[in-house]
Structure 1
Amino acid sequence: MRSSFPRAGSRELGTAEETQAFGEELGHALEAGDVVILDGPLGAGKTTFTQGIARGLQVKGRVTSPTFVIAREHRSTVGGPALIHVDAYRLLGEGSSGDPLGELDALDLDTELSDAVVVAEWGGGLVEQIADAYLVIRIDRETAVLRDPDSEARIFTWELVRA
């Protein structure tokens, strides 16, 4: 990850557009081999954030939740790294072999993980096995609602973790 993006921090984002803009900012800073874990409840904005990352990376294809396909690969339009968007919950969930690396490898992706940016929704337990360093982003949608029940804001907190 380029040094232009802070290694740790927190932001409150009030709309889906702000969430995508923040994702785009991160996408501009990501490099091949970078791994991002997105942690948050259903409906927190993980896929919306990943759509912004995709814009920043300038990759092809519509970014949607990988829930049913487990992983989607989006190729670069500018010669940069591909985006591999993974639903680690399904990869690690019921019916899995207990070998997340084997399961990810079995997806037969066209791009080596070291040549791509991997964004894993629900990625705890997987990413630690595929990267020496990764960015953990936690999305909190409850705190803002406790302050204001009409709020749609999410609080994004992130930290670069070195294994």
Structure 2
Amino acid sequence: MEKWTKITQSPDETQKLAEKLGTLVQPGDVITLEGDLGAGKTSFTKGLAKGLGVKRVVNSPTFTIIKEYKGRLPLYHMDVYRMEDEMEDLGLEEYFYGEGVSVIEWPSMIKSQLPEDRLIISLFHLGETSRKIMIASKGNRSLELSKELQS
């Protein structure tokens, strides 16, 4: 697993990093977002969606669990925080191995269902608007994606 860190000073800067990632992703890519409430997970997803060419407003799927957006590739935005049971069958494999990109907030809730190859993004508060973003790759495809994002 390879890791690197990026410090951003504003939500706009965080979204720009995610927007770049949105231009690099391919069908079947899985990105997990970890971090405290308000750390910027949904903000990051908004930037990613912009990079994918999504025109709709992106907001947290807290109560619906999964929201789908159309862009260059479908974006599957998941917030699994409220799942009752980790083994609840939501057909996640169809999303993970489908035609789109999956972004999962609170991935620890479904650890056993996550694909092995995934990009793990952790966001931490440094100040009111600054964030520490740790990016770790787990698998060959996510390593390639991480290197492209870092360059």
Give the shorter-chain TM-score range.
0.7 to 0.9
Query: C-alpha root-mean-square deviation of aligned residues, in Å?
Result: 2.3
Q: Does 1:65 align with 2:60?
A: yes
Tell me how far apart the structure 2 counterparts of residues 98 and 159 of structure 1 sit (CA, whole Å).
23
The aligned residue for residue 155 of structure 1 is: 132
Structure 2 unpaired stretches of 5+: 141-151
Q: Which has the larger radius of gyration?
A: 1
**In structure 2, distance between residues paired with 1:126 and 1:59:** 26
- Say if 2:15 and 2:48, in contact at 8 Å, map to a contact too: yes
TM-score (normalised: structure 1):
0.75
User: What is aligned with 2:99?
Assistant: 115
Q: Could you tell me which residue of structure 2 aligns to residue 51 of structure 1? A: 46
The alpha carbon displacement at 1:155 in A equals 0.3
| 1:85 maps onto 2:77 in alignment | yes
TM-score (norm. length: structure 2):
0.81
Q: Distance in 2 between matches of 1:12 and 1:140?
A: 10
Determine the C-alpha separation between the residues in 2 that align with 1:62 and 1:159.
28
Identity %: 33
Moved over 3 A (4+): none
User: CA 1:52–1:128 in structure 2 vs 1: closer, same or farther (change >3 Å)?
Assistant: farther
Change (3 A) 1:128 1:26: farther
Secondary structure class of the residue paired with 1:115: coil
Q: 1:113 to 1:63 in 2, by over 3 A?
A: farther
How far does residue 128 in structure 1 lie from its aligned partner after superposition? 5.0
State the shift of 1:113 in Å: 4.3
Q: Which amino acid is the alignment partner of residue 162 of structure 1?
A: G
- Structure 1 residue ranges without an equivalent (≥5): 1-6, 146-150
Residue identity in the other structure for 2:52 = L
Query: Which among 76, 79, 87 is matched to residue 99 of structure 1?
Result: 87
Please show how residues 12-31 of structure 1 align to structure 2 within 5 Å: 12-31=7-26
SS at 1:61 equivalent = coil
Distance in 2 between the 1:60 and 1:112 partners?
22
**What secondary structure does 1:38 align onto?**
strand
Shift of 1:53: 0.2
Distance (whole Å) between structure 2 residues aligned to residue 130 and residue 59 of structure 1: 24
Counterpart for residue 35 of structure 2: 40
Confirm or deny: 8 A CA contact 1:61 1:74 kept in the other structure: yes
The Cα of 1:132 is off from its aligned counterpart by: 2.7
**C-alpha contact 1:84 1:116 (8 A) present in aligned 2:** yes
Matching of residues 109-148 of structure 1 within 5 Å: 113-126=97-110, 129-141=113-125, 144-145=126-127
